[in-house]
Amino acid sequence: MQEFLDSLITQGYFAGVPRDVVYAAGMAVFAAVVVLGFVLNVSGVTTWLERRVWARMQGRCGPNRVGPQGFLQWLADGVKLFMKEDLIPAEADSRLFRLAPYIVVLGFLTAFVVIPFSSALIIADLNVGIVFVTAVTSLVVVGILMAGWASNNKWSLIGGVRAAAQIVSYEIPAGLSIMPIVLLTGTLSMQGIIAQQGWAPQNWFVFNNPFTFLAFFIFFTSALAEGNRTPFDLPEAESELVAGFVTEYTGVRYLLFFLAEWGNLYIIGAVITTLFLGGWQIPPVTDNAVLRALLEFLTFFIKSYFWVLVAMWVRATLPRVRVDQLMSVCWKYLVPLSFANLLGTAAWVVAWPQGNVVARYAMTLVGVALLYYFFQRVAFHLRRARVRERGELQFSPLS
């Protein structure tokens, strides 16, 4: 942040204003902009987009009445929820009940402090950045457990306990998949991690070596589970637990839980982009500080929002796992695998301290091949659906 303001000052903006005032004002304005202008809008728009994308995948229209293409639906929903009565069940522990949504929101808003939107746009580049993210997002568990307990409803309680068990368990593979990157870079700072990657895919950490490639998938899976997303949406499993820990909530408190859920999705995408996908790195195209910040911001935003879309897609595709299957996936497969990954990366770093260029290009090729295979499969199914309409049958050479 400071460097960004410095560069603005040297380029002639803010002439005649004391440096400290510029720093302080810049920090305050940016924090406010991030929280109010960015976070709230992004999670709001995400609710609308998820419903539209989902509807499209299911052959429906989705919300399309409020504003163009229903774009303002999320504002209408928000206003509606603000005007609802704030019900607190008579037998509920009213203090905890009222406190719980704030803790959840606190957990996810605080994480934005270290999200590096561009080389300059970051509220605070803490030297423990990535650990800070995992630490504060764990606050969400406390809030959810509190909500489940205080509601004095057995379905809420089961939802809360499920959430606690699930999030705490999946933090282990998620944390262990962050560690390979930390081993490679030797830093925990978000900007430090991005600075060691390049703008081209072969310089991203996901393709650095086979272990980070695997860590990427483990991290995405565990992040979905931590964010209570399908196929791991057990805490609020509608068909089992009514609405899980939000069963008794109404109005704005209910809104806050969902704000946190959709905001969390963006954090997942941002962390993945930072760790594995080169963050805001762009090719050197311009020297103008403002333009550069804008391009970097756009790059980072598109990369991270892509994973939000993937999460929506997964949600439209998969059924929900059972609670024992959830635990066995975590403890029997993901945790040992991510441990092996960590050891493998450690060995890799010892063998090639400067990184292995051949492996990097080879892994990039593997990634491209996987994408190619995926698109081939999609194209095949589209073709088959078309052939089926004519009444013929076609068998996949790949399946």
Partner 1 sequence: MSLTGFELEVQRAGSAGLETEEMTLNMGPQHPSTHGVLRFVIKADGEVMREAIPDVGYLHRSIEKISEKVGYHGFMPYTDRVDYVAAMFCNQGWSMACEKLGGIEVPKRGEYCRVIAAELNRISSHLLFVGTMILDIGAMTPFFLAFQEREKINDLLEELCGARLTYNYMRIGGVAWDLPPNYAERVLAFLEHFERALDEHNDLISYNKIFVERLANIAAVTPEVAINYNLVGPNLRASGVPYDVRRDDPYSIYRELDFDVPVGTGEVGTVGDCFDRYIMRVHEMKQSVRILRQCLKQMPDGPVIAKVPRKFKPPAGDAYIRVESARGDMGWYAVSDGTEFPYRCKIRTGSFSAMSIIDRLSPGLMIADLVALISSLDVVAPEVDR
Interacting residue ranges for partner 1, rule: CB under 8 A: 54, 57-60, 154-155, 158, 161-162, 230-231, 233-234, 237-242, 316-325, 381, 385, 388-389, 391
Rounded distance, CA 54 to CA 36, Å? 26
Closer to partner 1 by CB, 6 or 240: give it.
240
Closer to partner 1 by CB, 68 or 390: give it.
390
* Shortest Å distance, C-beta 260 to partner 1: 21
Closer to partner 1 by CB, 116 or 227: give it.
227
* Shortest Å distance, C-beta 385 to partner 1: 7
Query: Which residue type, as a one-letter code, is found at position 32?
Result: A
Residue whose token pair is 């950045």: 129
Closer to partner 1 by CB, 1 or 161: give it.
161
Rounded distance, CA 328 to CA 131, Å? 26
Structure tokens at 223: 């992040």
Closer to partner 1 by CB, 34 or 158: give it.
158
* Shortest Å distance, C-beta 319 to partner 1: 4
Residue whose token pair is 């299911």: 58
Least Cα distance to 275 among 350, 334, 222 occurs for 222
Closer to partner 1 by CB, 61 or 343: give it.
61
* Shortest Å distance, C-beta 370 to partner 1: 19
* Shortest Å distance, C-beta 348 to partner 1: 31
CB-count exposure of residue 256 (10 Å: 0-12, 13-18, 19+):
buried
Structure tokens at 271: 């962390």
Closer to partner 1 by CB, 89 or 210: give it.
89
* Shortest Å distance, C-beta 243 to partner 1: 9
SS3 24: helix
> How far is residue 235 from each of residues 64, 117, 147, 368, measured CA to CA in Å?
30, 31, 12, 36
Rounded distance, CA 235 to CA 162, Å? 5
* Shortest Å distance, C-beta 69 to partner 1: 20
CB-count exposure of residue 327 (10 Å: 0-12, 13-18, 19+):
middle
Least Cα distance to 338 among 198, 178, 109 occurs for 178
CA 97 to chain centre: 27
SS3 390: coil
